Chain A
Amino acid sequence: MTQTSNNPAPVTIDARGPRFTATITLVVLAIALLTQSIYVIGFQLLVFGMAAFIGLKKAPYGIIYRKLVQPRLRGPVPLEDQRPPRFAQLVGFIFALVAFIGLLTEANTVFTIATSFALVAAFLNSAFGFCLGCQMYLILVRIFKRA
């Protein structure tokens, strides 16, 4: 027996997309960490921001996935609620913002720590398929939404 949901049907995305975009994110963040370049972290900040505030499908890595990768994949498209991965991009945005401001104010330690956290999260998603930001999403819904 299944209790039906009272919520409206969520917007869905290809569930394979976030893992692919996490791989690009991982590479960009690694470059940012190695070069300590404000342009690289600034670029990733922009990408996170677009994914979080405009939408996953319209963000740069999402567009790359849909145009270059998805057409080459076979089998049915596994669907996923877009809210948790989109929230994860918002978390990434916050870390990248802290890192960006760290470089801007020459607080290099702040930059390194914030970038490191984002990098570990991107790696976990890319290599293991674990979306830490997604896990946070349900916990926050639990805290803030009325029953």
Chain B
Amino acid sequence: MNSPLLLLMLLALATGIGFRIRATQGRVKEKPGLQLTKAEIGTTFGKRATLVQFSTTFCSACRAAKVLIADVVAKRDDVKYVEIDAESNLKLVRKLDIKSTPTTIFIDAKGFEIARAVGAPKRDQVIAAINRL
């Protein structure tokens, strides 16, 4: 195969991959998961839901996610928001299979994970996920 053609194919492939990653980033995916304890997240659960965001230091997407989620949660007294540093809580990161930050875990009143978002989530998806709990 000649090189210019290969280069074009690689760029086309990479463009496709890029759009795919962008489309799935931040999407709130509903999938039942493990149960967490109050001790693990360091606080009691919200009456309706708790949003647990795993972050790392100086991660700009984490800051963006925090600003958005904290704003959504501030308007509701039945939902709590907790931010956890991934590197200092590796046991929990491994238990929940957190692969990147930010990852936001949506848990119900009993501590069961019902959804998670990898990447900074969109406001309407966060609200919809909370309302479905």
Contacts and interface: CB of A to CB of B under 8 A. Distances in A.
Q: Interface residues of A: mostly helix, strand, loop or mixed?
A: mixed
Contacts of B6: 33, 112, 116
Given A5-B57, A5-B85, A147 B91 contact: yes
Interface centre among A2, A34, A78, A80 (most CB of B within 10 A): A2
B14 A123 contact: yes
B90 A142 contact: yes
Interface residues on B, range: 35 or more
B58 A80 contact: yes
A6 to B, nearest CB: 4
Interface in B72-127: 80-91, 93-94, 98-101
A4 interface: yes
A138 B58 contact: no
Given A10-B57, A81-B56, A142-B94, A3 B42 contact: yes
A128 B89 contact: no
B131 interface: no
A36 B93 CA distance: 43
Contacts of A4: 85
A130 B58 contact: no
Contact of A7 (B57, B59, B91, B100): B57
A130 B18 contact: yes
Contacts of B86: 138
A128 B42 CA distance: 36
Interface centre among B10, B11, B43, B99 (most CB of A within 10 A): B10
Interface residues of A, number: 37
Interface string A116-132: 10011001100110100
A139 B6 CA distance: 31
A132 to B, nearest CB: 9
A79 B7 CA distance: 33
B7 A30 contact: yes
Contacts of B15: 123, 127
Given A4-B85, A138-B86, A124 B56 contact: no
A105 to B, nearest CB: 19
A4 B4 CA distance: 51
A124 B12 CA distance: 11
B60 A33 contact: no
A96 to B, nearest CB: 16
19 contacts: A2-B83, A6-B85, A7-B57, A7-B87, A33-B6, A34-B3, A35-B3, A81-B57, A81-B58, A119-B14, A120-B17, A123-B10, A123-B14, A124-B14, A141-B90, A142-B94, A142-B99, A145-B87, A147-B91
